[in-house]
Structure 1
Amino acid sequence: MDVFHMDLKFLVVLFTCIGLVSCRCESGEVTVSSYPKPPFPKREIIKFKQPFMDRPAVMYGIKMIDSAYNKNTRADVKLLWVRPEAFSILMKSAYDSHLYGLGVSWMACL
C-alpha cells in the first residue's frame, strides 16, 4: 500500500503505535448478577493492570443481559469517571424493568 494514499486516521494510528507516541490498550469485562433480588443500580470501579500515562479513552458495550420474562428489558450503563489508574461505570435497570444480570465489555486506550 502506498503511504501517500493511506487514510489519515490510519496514519495517526500507525504513528501512534510504532513508538512516536505511546500506544496502549487494555480490555476486560464486568458482570453483575443476582437472583431473585435484582442487584441494580450498581456502581463498579475497574482498576487497570498498570496505570496509563494520561486519562485513556474508554469504550464499552452491553455483552449480556438477564431479565424477567414478563417485563420490559431496559438497561442503562453510564461511564461516571475516568482516571489514568481506573474508571467507574453505573449499571442500572430503566423504568419498570427487572434485571437480574448485566454484563459489560470495555476497552481503554491511550
Structure 2
Amino acid sequence: MKRFPPGSIAIAQGSRVLFSDFADGGVMWTGEGDRESRHIVEFKEPFRLPPAVHVGITMWDTDHQTNARADLTAENITETGFHLVFKTWANTRVARIRADWMAIGQVPDEDDWEIE
C-alpha cells in the first residue's frame, strides 16, 4: 500500500496508441519471438514523489490465427513521467494496441515552503 502524507493529491491520466504495425509491416505484426514497444510518457506537471501508475489495454487488434500474448507495464516511474512498455513473444501477431494510464500521487502545494 502506498500512503500519502497530508497535502495535495492529484490524478493524471492519458491514452496512447502504441503502434499500428499492420499498416506498415512493423515487427509486432510481421515478427516472431520477443518484441517490445516502449514509449516515454511525460506528466504535464510534476508530482512531489514518484506516483502510483496504473496501465491497461483499452484496444487491441490481434491475428485470430495465433495466441494473443501481451505484457503491459509502467517502468522507470519518476516525478515527471514513466515508460509505457508493451511486450509480446512467440508467434503472436499484434496489429495495434492502445493503452490508457492513470497516475495518482502527491503534488506540491502552493502553501509549501522549503528551507535551504
Q: Could you state the TM-score of these two structures normalised by the residue count of structure 2?
A: 0.71
The alpha-carbon deviation at position 79 of structure 1 amounts to: 2.0
Q: Deviations over 1:9-30 (max 9, x none)?
A: xxx89xx7xxx41110000011
> Looking at both structures, which has the greater relative contact order when contacts are Cα pairs under 8 Å and sequence separation is at least 6?
2
User: 5+ unaligned residues in a row in structure 2: which ranges?
Assistant: 29-34, 106-116
| Separation in structure 1 between the aligned mates of residue 75 and residue 42 of structure 2, nearest angstrom | 14
Q: Which residue of 2 aligns with 1:37?
A: 26
**CA-atom RMSD, angstroms?**
2.0
Structure 1 or 2: more helix by fraction: 1
Query: 4+ residue runs of structure 1 moved beyond 3 angstroms?
Result: none
Alignment of 1:9-20 (within 5 A): 20=6
Q: Deviations over 1:37-64 (max 9, x none)?
A: 3345111110001111111100111111
Would you say the 8 A contact 1:38–1:100 is kept in 2? no
What is the aligned-residue identity percentage? 27
Would you say the 8 A contact 1:44–1:90 is kept in 2? yes
Q: Which residue of 1 aligns with 2:12?
A: 26
User: 5+ unaligned residues in a row in structure 1: which ranges?
Assistant: 1-11
Would you say the 8 A contact 2:54–2:74 is kept in 1? no
In the comparison of the two structures, how many residue pairs are matched? 94
